[in-house]
Structure 1
Amino acid sequence: MRTRDEHKEQLVRQKALELIVHQGFEGFSMQKLAKAAEVSPATLYIYYKDKEDLITGIGIEIGKKFSENVLRDFDSNLPFAEGMRIQWRNRARYAIEHRLETEFFEQIRSSSFREKVMDSFVEDFKSSMGKFVHNAIAHKELNPMPLEVFWSVAYAPLYNLIRFHHEGRSMGGKPFVFSEELMYQTLALVLKALKP
């Protein structure tokens, strides 16, 4: 029986991320991965049972890493504006420093792997964020609203700034580079929109 090589396993994971982000799930195969990672197809099966196991495993690993990073220094009992500031800082840092993982996870969110991956880490995350939102409403720092409306107003502007940054341009092709100044300027408008 062949043993696991941690370095090779990380290489396989990295190449899988690159292939999936650039070619999508439909264009991804274990054969293509073996070729990209310069390993034999049999080597892949030391680490993963099959293509689904590989995608799910990587998705769960990234989901947990995202959750840990987003909740770093965050407490659901924080005042709303302070908690949102930490959330934006953490989300932006993770998305910019881990672009490939972020783009991979976006594909997971709209795929058949979504439930299996999200169920593996989302409970603690949902609990912490849910308590934060409920506290903010109870303290009259946030208007009550459906979750979808809250998320659209609270985080979509941040993810648009990150998207502009990754594309290197904003509206009309104007060059764009993400900055904390722009992020906090946008957050100030978001907080104003969300407050009673």
Structure 2
Amino acid sequence: MRTRDENKVLAIREKAIDLMVEEGLEGFSIQKLAKAAGVSPATIYIYYKDREDLIIQLSIELTNTLLEYSLRDFDPAMSFSDGLKLQWKNRVAHFMKFPKHVEFIEHIRYSPLYEQVRAHMIVQFGEAMGAFVHNAIRNKQLNKLPFEVYWAVAFAPLYQLMKFHSQGRSHKSEHFALNNKLLMQTCELVIKGLTP
């Protein structure tokens, strides 16, 4: 068995992210990746069973980084307002540092491959966020809502701001850059809408 060459693994990983961002899931192939990474397809198969295995493993790795950022300094016992603000700040910090990782995950989000990643996220993230939401409802800091409604109101505005930022423009402005003032202004409105 060949030893793991970390430089090759890193090159494969980085080029896989670039290729997914540039070409999407449909344009992603082991042949293209091997050429971009400067390795043979056989080298890629040393580390991954097939294309799907590579995409799933890489997605889980990128998701773990997102979860690590999201839960940084987070405590499920925090007040709803403080906890949601911290979630927003942490997610934006991740997005600003790893914009390609976010795009990579977006490319597979609506494919069957995402189910394994989603299952992993639920296990890793569900416990902390579930406890946070239940504490906030019990403490009368959050209205009881169906999960989908809560998630749409709590996080869709954040992801739209990040989308405007990544595009560098909005529907109104030719130049848009997300800053802390806009972030917190939007977050305060979301908190107001979710609290009793």
TM-score tier, shorter chain, comes to over 0.9
Contact 1:3–1:46 (Cα < 8 Å) also in 2 = no
Pairwise mapping of residues 136-175 of structure 1 onto structure 2 (< 5 A)?
Answer: 136-175=136-175
Normalization by structure 1: what TM-score?
0.96
Distance 2:137 2:83 in 1: 13
State the Cα distance separating 1:106 from its structure 2 match. 1.7
Q: Which residue of 1 aligns with 2:34?
A: 34
2:85 corresponds in structure 1 to 85
Q: Note the alpha carbon deviations across 1:119-171, whole angstroms, 9 max, x for none.
A: 23421311111111111111111111111111111111111111111000011
Q: In structure 2, give the amino acid aligned to 1:98.
A: F
Partner of 2:51: 51
Letter in 1 for 2:85: R
Q: Are 2:17 and 2:100, in contact at CA under 8 Å, matched by a contact in 1? A: yes
In structure 1, how many angstroms separate the alpha carbons of the residues matched to 2:24 and 2:70? 26
Q: Paired residue for 1:182?
A: 182
What per-residue deviation string (whole Å, max 9, x for no partner) do you get for residues 55-83 of structure 1?
01101111111111101100111000000
* TM-aligned CA deviation for residue 173 of structure 1: 4.3
Moved over 3 A (4+): none
Does the 8 Å CA contact 2:25/2:108 hold for their aligned counterparts?
no
Q: Which residue identity lines up with residue 45 of structure 1 in the other structure?
A: Y
Q: Distance in 2 between matches of 1:172 and 1:122?
A: 36
Q: Distance in 2 between matches of 1:170 and 1:124?
A: 33
Q: Does the 8 Å CA contact 1:21/1:100 hold for their aligned counterparts?
A: yes
Moved more, 68-77 or 117-126: 117-126
Counterpart of 1:119?
119
Corresponding pairs, count: 196
Q: What TM-score do you get using the length of structure 2 for normalisation?
A: 0.96
Taking the aligned partners of 2:150 and 2:121, their CA distance within structure 1 comes to: 21
Unmatched segments (≥5 aa) in structure 2:
none
